[in-house]
Structure 1
């Protein structure tokens, strides 16, 4: 309702009762003033001049609403339209009540009794013939009621239903982008708000259209009542002849009805335009001109048909031939414009195609003479590389608005915030040896992931609760292996309604890249990154860093400890605690594994918080007492690397741990194995390859404030 201030005169939005008000207060007072004005029109008699003023304002408001709807790009740009529709309907009904009072009380004095506007509509528009006026009024009412308003209401009803059905899928897609680091929390809140507002908008339009239909019915009834009431008042109270009373009051009633119905029809057309247009980056006018008059062949053929009709005897030859000449001339100008290389009409398909061709075209480089090999030919290996097929080039080309570049920046930023160091840049290049829609992710020149992404299509991922099947290419989500289907863009809303998580090709590649970067975080932490971490920490605690490196331990030893933490999924954001723990124990031991265990104890609260975000009770898996003793003996004989574990015992442990982890996951719990401190490194290394989802903690890493609940045992037969 606040947006209605844009349609009020400046004096009304800036001053109330002669007192200047701040801009915020004046806008907030606009709606109450308008409601009071409507009530005054219904209750108090108004002079003819005031009626003329309000009728003129009603016509101006309807034109403003129509033009605003034509220039909106998407429905949510005119989010106040349902409220405007309601207020304009109530304004017309209030004017009907006020004009009826004036017509019945002053109508015997002449046609100007109810104001110049009603008189003009009664005499000028219908020529003073009340029979013609009745026919015109009925036709306008039928058009408004049965065609425009009914169609707009149906579109709004269907749009509201589909918007509500697609809301869960859209919310899941937003959550998926947020979890993958493609968008921030603020952008996620904005998108959720837009999804909610879209559903509310169509629902409000569905309800508001009923007001317009009721207004059309009320217009007919009010007009009939005015005619009958005018005849009675003129004949009985003012002793007018039947013919004179019929002419006077019928013309006034029809003029009053036309003054109300014409703005109603204009606003109904605006409602139809808002709910029936397809969202794009152009307004309605640009879309119509750009797409309807984009092909010269269409104008040529239409001009020829109209010209043929123009030479038929008895036809209006001049009109048809003039129109034919205009169409053929327009087609010639379009064809000439295309030959001269001029840009196509905005909004046309050729404009998009020409832009894409101009962006992807490249001039052939002149051949160069071969030179002797130099050290410049020895290229360094990229730490992180992304190679794409030629159909995926638009995703990574900045000139073509490649969204994947922005998402990769978001991935690196989120990784730095969550893991604790800045990942190396991702070097992107095209590879003609790959399939057209394939991509390849390399770590230090070695492939660690690959997949296919079809630009222009969407990947519908089944999170486990989707219902029904979709036509398309059946595949798997390359990041997590979930069942998925590549579908056309037209099936996106249907897939979201069925419970699928729908993402575009760029999101598929970005999510896969983010998953691999997180998985191989320990390999991405080189000496340069460790030195950058120390330099960053030394800005706040220079003495702490200086006392540890290189006085007490080398940079490579520190790198090994940090890599051990990252390999088991422990973030290194708390570098201060890590450095302080190492500085405390480095004088006793220099073994990286022992130092890692001590650092894990210092970071125990953060590790547990990462695995169990909520609740004070930890549901964990533990070892059977007999198995624990066997492993302690094997460790004493074979060392911490587990070489002393018998193959049969190792298989039994892997199978039993896998069953326990699966049981935990089925219950919706994080699979965590709790073991004594001396066994943690042994079992963590042993189970890392077979069960990467199973995390191994030691008793010393659990904070004293946490309660432990054992849900499964890993035992030896």
Structure 2
């Protein structure tokens, strides 16, 4: 606990002491100690930058650059104060001014200038550019990364904790590269400050020595100028180390090991480049006048390294490669590769904002809510929706996939909302149709939402359009989405609360496959299978007499009773279309059994006239914003549905026994026995 407390206070106290150094004179011996600490700290930062496997492992690096830069500038100020006041700034600066550059002002200035060119022109500018580009690309890639994380979460590949951790890493990466873009400016500014401070020290030292202390011109140069150059060199060495560390961090790609191991492994991974470099070094020995021994040694080292690479490759490669190749062909891996997602949603590049929570996108949350709503409405657990971007889609387009095949497509233009209504002519925008019901609509700018609502239009945001369209597709294809494993899961749920019902039904009377066919038939007609207990009880009774699909489905529908007609009730009234008794009798007499259930075998002319009249009546009723249902005898209901569904898919077919939930039955039309001339409405 004490160590943690000391760690928390260490850096703040250190920064305060740095600020104090700017105004309080330091003794020369203390300055020597701090200069040594500065150089050692810069070397430590450089080594840390080299040994991290990922840039984010050194996430504090931008702050370290700022603190180290401020520390170095404070040392410059303290050294300048001692040079100008005492003509002496400690042993370190004195040694750099006399011994390192040989006591020559010209040599010191040249070395100092070279260090500045290396740091400022080469390393700092390059690192700054890489940091800027890295920050830009990282921020641009954030929505795609977040969408990939949410898609993996929705598909069940990762759990909530893993998703939360990966989101934090994405945000940390963006923050890090953004901070590095700013930190590189500190390094560049430090190089400029070094030039200015050194020039001020040269001019100030000469002025103090000659003007204030009355020293000779040569003595002033020997005393003050060399100390100023020494101070500049002492400050530029740690500055250069930090610049190199900055360059290493921003150019470091994420790897499995530290930088040194990655570089050596990747350079020596192939023996051919080493051999070419070795023979090239030997060939340079043929040039007259060049020394032979250095190039022979360099070429020999390259060839020795290439032979070692070859030995290492020959030894473990076959043993290591064999399991890898074998594992790549295992049935489990191949099966995982060929699996398709039951339900998918693809977005064009300009629709990524719909899933970007930072931009206010909530599509993924709505999709999760949609799965819950489908479970409540239909009684099935919809598979996770695999959401991803698709660069091949046209702009502002989304596509809904079922088992990898596109089944629906729509548009959701950025910056727009969908206005639905009859009086949209005065609103600017792009005319379109609502994707589910085909209503006349218009994509209008989002800022005109209030105006559209005042004009009586229904305004829907883009995420709602996509979610509604997805819900309609799931409802239409619910039968295909109900797999055998889903049936087992639902059966297990019922068994926990009603074990006798399940044990009596399966496997003694019906297999899971036969139960699946019944449930799929119910879902195909929009009947919810949420009340599985009553469905299983009805199937158990009917399965004792027959295992044919149609009777089993009718038994399940009868057990559900009012729930079948409930979706079509309007103010507790049911709007129905019916057959005249004579026509219904002809239909009953024309029933023919087939492998796929009973079908109606009327003559083609009568069938065509019946379907045409029925479609006309249904359209007329729907134009009055009423959803009708066709009602007939239970013996012919399944066959009638097979006849009319391909032509009038939105028309539900109910039997007379399924009308018990309606308080009022309102006839909207009757199809006559004499067709086509005898049909009456």
What interval of TM-score do these two structures reach, taking the shorter chain for normalisation? 0.5 to 0.7
1:394 maps to 2:322: no
Residue in structure 1 matched with residue 291 of structure 2 by the alignment: 316
1:103 maps to 2:57: no
- Verify the 8 A CA contact 1:145 1:213 in the aligned structure 2: yes
Residue in structure 1 matched with residue 191 of structure 2 by the alignment: 216
Equivalent position to 1:268, from 243, 253, 276:
243
Q: Secondary structure at the match of 2:249?
A: helix
1:136 maps to 2:66: no
State the Cα distance separating 1:214 from its structure 2 match. Answer: 0.7
State the Cα distance separating 1:154 from its structure 2 match. Answer: 1.1
State the Cα distance separating 1:333 from its structure 2 match. Answer: 3.3
- Verify the 8 A CA contact 2:112 2:229 in the aligned structure 1: yes
- TM-score calculated relative to the size of structure 1: 0.59
Residue in structure 2 matched with residue 305 of structure 1 by the alignment: 280
1:546 maps to 2:472: no
Residue in structure 1 matched with residue 484 of structure 2 by the alignment: 524
State the Cα distance separating 1:218 from its structure 2 match. Answer: 0.4
Using a 3 Å threshold, how does the CA distance of structure 1 residues 547 and 247 change in structure 2: closer, same or farther?
Answer: same
Equivalent position to 2:19, from 39, 57, 63:
39
State the Cα distance separating 1:98 from its structure 2 match. Answer: 2.5
Using a 3 Å threshold, how does the CA distance of structure 1 residues 239 and 396 change in structure 2: closer, same or farther?
Answer: farther
State the Cα distance separating 1:558 from its structure 2 match. Answer: 9.0
Residue in structure 1 matched with residue 577 of structure 2 by the alignment: 628
Q: List aligned pairs for 1:7-46, cutoff 5 A.
A: 20=2, 23=4, 25-46=5-26
1:87 maps to 2:67: yes
Q: Secondary structure at the match of 1:124?
A: helix
Q: Secondary structure at the match of 2:269?
A: coil
Residue in structure 2 matched with residue 162 of structure 1 by the alignment: 137
- Verify the 8 A CA contact 1:141 1:261 in the aligned structure 2: yes
Q: Secondary structure at the match of 1:315?
A: coil
Uncovered stretches (5+) of structure 1, i.e. residues with no partner: 1-13, 15-19, 345-352, 362-392, 424-457, 468-474, 484-513, 609-617, 664-671, 705-715
State the Cα distance separating 1:296 from its structure 2 match. Answer: 3.2
Using a 3 Å threshold, how does the CA distance of structure 1 residues 278 and 96 change in structure 2: closer, same or farther?
Answer: same
Equivalent position to 2:97, from 122, 135, 153:
122
Give the number of the structure whose alpha-carbon radius of gyration is greater.
Answer: 2
- Verify the 8 A CA contact 1:212 1:268 in the aligned structure 2: yes
Residue in structure 1 matched with residue 45 of structure 2 by the alignment: 65
Equivalent position to 1:293, from 256, 268, 290:
268
Q: Secondary structure at the match of 1:628?
A: strand
Aligned pairs, number: 530
Using a 3 Å threshold, how does the CA distance of structure 1 residues 297 and 56 change in structure 2: closer, same or farther?
Answer: same
Q: Residues 511-565 of structure 1, C-alpha deviation per residue, up to 9 Å, x if partnerless? A: xxx99x9864545159xx64x7666665x54xx3236742999752998666544
**Matches of 2:81 and 2:338 in 1, distance apart?**
65
Q: Residues 329-373 of structure 1, C-alpha deviation per residue, up to 9 Å, x if partnerless? A: 3333333444xx2247xxxxxxxx985555226xxxxxxxxxxxx
State the Cα distance separating 1:83 from its structure 2 match. Answer: 2.1
**Matches of 1:188 and 1:673 in 2, distance apart?**
46
Q: Residues 77-98 of structure 1, C-alpha deviation per residue, up to 9 Å, x if partnerless? A: 3322222222222222222222
**Matches of 2:130 and 2:17 in 1, distance apart?**
33
Q: Residues 641-668 of structure 1, C-alpha deviation per residue, up to 9 Å, x if partnerless? A: 885994455468789999999x9xxxxx
**Matches of 1:145 and 1:479 in 2, distance apart?**
56
**Matches of 2:246 and 2:6 in 1, distance apart?**
28
Q: Secondary structure at the match of 2:404?
A: coil
State the Cα distance separating 1:319 from its structure 2 match. Answer: 2.2
Equivalent position to 2:126, from 148, 151, 159:
151
- Verify the 8 A CA contact 2:38 2:72 in the aligned structure 1: yes
- Verify the 8 A CA contact 1:589 1:595 in the aligned structure 2: no
Equivalent position to 2:324, from 359, 379, 401:
359
- Verify the 8 A CA contact 2:45 2:245 in the aligned structure 1: yes
- Verify the 8 A CA contact 1:219 1:257 in the aligned structure 2: yes
Q: Residues 207-246 of structure 1, C-alpha deviation per residue, up to 9 Å, x if partnerless? A: 2111111110001001111122222233344333332222
**Matches of 2:534 and 2:136 in 1, distance apart?**
59
- Verify the 8 A CA contact 2:599 2:643 in the aligned structure 1: yes
Residue in structure 2 matched with residue 713 of structure 1 by the alignment: none
Q: Secondary structure at the match of 2:577?
A: helix
- Verify the 8 A CA contact 1:658 1:691 in the aligned structure 2: no
**Matches of 1:619 and 1:120 in 2, distance apart?**
97
- Verify the 8 A CA contact 1:675 1:697 in the aligned structure 2: no
**Matches of 2:142 and 2:209 in 1, distance apart?**
60
Uncovered stretches (5+) of structure 2, i.e. residues with no partner: 344-367, 383-387, 410-473, 545-550, 592-597, 663-679
Using a 3 Å threshold, how does the CA distance of structure 1 residues 581 and 44 change in structure 2: closer, same or farther?
Answer: farther
**Matches of 1:655 and 1:38 in 2, distance apart?**
88
Q: Residues 298-351 of structure 1, C-alpha deviation per residue, up to 9 Å, x if partnerless? A: 33333333233335553222222222332233333333444xx2247xxxxxxx
Residue in structure 2 matched with residue 441 of structure 1 by the alignment: none
- Verify the 8 A CA contact 2:194 2:232 in the aligned structure 1: yes
**Matches of 2:42 and 2:59 in 1, distance apart?**
16
State the Cα distance separating 1:28 from its structure 2 match. Answer: 3.9
**Matches of 2:35 and 2:221 in 1, distance apart?**
24
Q: Residues 356-401 of structure 1, C-alpha deviation per residue, up to 9 Å, x if partnerless? A: 555226xxxxxxxxxxxxxxxxxxxxxxxxxxxxxxx838667xxx
Q: List aligned pairs for 1:639-654, cutoff 5 A.
A: 643=600, 646-648=607-609, 650=611
Residue in structure 1 matched with residue 510 of structure 2 by the alignment: 556
Residue in structure 2 matched with residue 342 of structure 1 by the alignment: 315
State the Cα distance separating 1:158 from its structure 2 match. Answer: 1.9
**Matches of 1:144 and 1:601 in 2, distance apart?**
83
Q: List aligned pairs for 1:237-256, cutoff 5 A.
A: 237-256=212-231
State the Cα distance separating 1:40 from its structure 2 match. Answer: 1.8
**Matches of 2:138 and 2:509 in 1, distance apart?**
57
Using a 3 Å threshold, how does the CA distance of structure 1 residues 525 and 218 change in structure 2: closer, same or farther?
Answer: closer
State the Cα distance separating 1:193 from its structure 2 match. Answer: 3.5
Equivalent position to 2:57, from 77, 96, 114:
77
Residue in structure 1 matched with residue 307 of structure 2 by the alignment: 332
- Verify the 8 A CA contact 2:494 2:502 in the aligned structure 1: no
Q: Secondary structure at the match of 2:510?
A: helix
Q: List aligned pairs for 1:467-482, cutoff 5 A.
A: 478-480=404-406
Residue in structure 2 matched with residue 5 of structure 1 by the alignment: none
Using a 3 Å threshold, how does the CA distance of structure 1 residues 181 and 227 change in structure 2: closer, same or farther?
Answer: same
